[in-house]
Amino acid sequence: MAITPSELPHYEVLALRFAHTEFKAKDAFLGRGDVHDGQQPMDFFVWVVRGDGRTIVMDMGFGDDACAHRPIKSDRHPVEVLADVGVDAATVTDVVISHLHFDHAGNSGYFKKARFHLQDAEMAFSTGRYMRYKILNRATDVLSVTAMVRHVYDGRVEFHDGDEEIFPGISVHKIGGHTGGMQVMRVHTARGWVVLASDAAHFYQNLDTDNPFAIVMNIGEVLEGNRRLRALASTPEHIIPGHDPMVLCLYPAYPGLKGQVACVHLPPLPRVQPG
């Protein structure tokens, strides 16, 4: 008998920031015509889903070695940020990898007990012919990818092909677009279905204007993916973009971690009216 939503667990969902940078806005969006001239701030997150006796981490951030040749440093190590909310990376059993870009797939060595949930298409994309091209491999860290290949050989990668429920009320969904096998995670919460979009939508603006982020494998899949995100989430306010600093402003802070960790399973804060 199918489980109805009212019987599904209500999970806690946290967005944890570990780094910040800024781009020229015109370099961040594919369609430049309607983009402002200023800077585009960008936060880097990992996500935690907790409840019903389980803890799932989505994405692992980057280690400092992956950034030796990049103009970005983490403010705090992602593993330390996880510890701030009581998550010990060494004991986490399930990590959902949205995609294999450097800022999402690093640090897997810290997750010694985890199995890694990944789309077939993402591993094929990240080890296949397109990685010969700088324009498509510039956001990939080959050490993170080869570490994940080793996890395959150790039997620790749980492959998915499309949409799959991984626990009651938690499912992964292949979007593609940004990379060959980009996936998002949908989570049942007390306020409805929250979708952790990761880089299926970097910023709210990518969704609101159907203007993709500038690093993209398949533009059509990004745009169709936006529709998919809206269909999966209870409302547009239930979609959590992967890099938007507004997430930390819109949602209640985790106790003691204001500006660092947002509780996205809770309703957004009331908007302050200019006055």
| Positions in the binding site for Zn ion (CB under 5 A) | 103, 199
The single-letter DSSP state of residue 110 is: G
Would you say how long the chain is, in residues? 275
Residue 243 Cβ, how far from Zn ion at the closest point, in Å?
6
Cβ closest to Zn ion, residue 189 vs residue 239: 239
Collapsed DSSP state (helix, strand, coil) of residue 148? helix
State the minimum distance, in angstroms, from the CB of residue 72 to Zn ion: 11
**What is the DSSP code string of 16-44?**
EEEEEEEEEHHHHBS--TT--SSEEEEEE
Choose between 103 and 221: whose C-beta lies nearer to Zn ion: 103
Closer to Zn ion by Cβ: residue 1 or 68: 68
The minimum distance between CB 239 and Zn ion, in angstroms, equals 16
C-alpha R_g of the chain: 17
Minimum Å distance from CB 242 to Zn ion?
5
The Cα 115–Cα 121 span in angstroms is 18
In this complex, which beta carbon is closest to Zn ion, that of residue 43 or of residue 103?
103
The pair of structure tokens assigned to 222 is 């990004």
Q: Which residues pair with 173 in a beta bridge?
A: 184
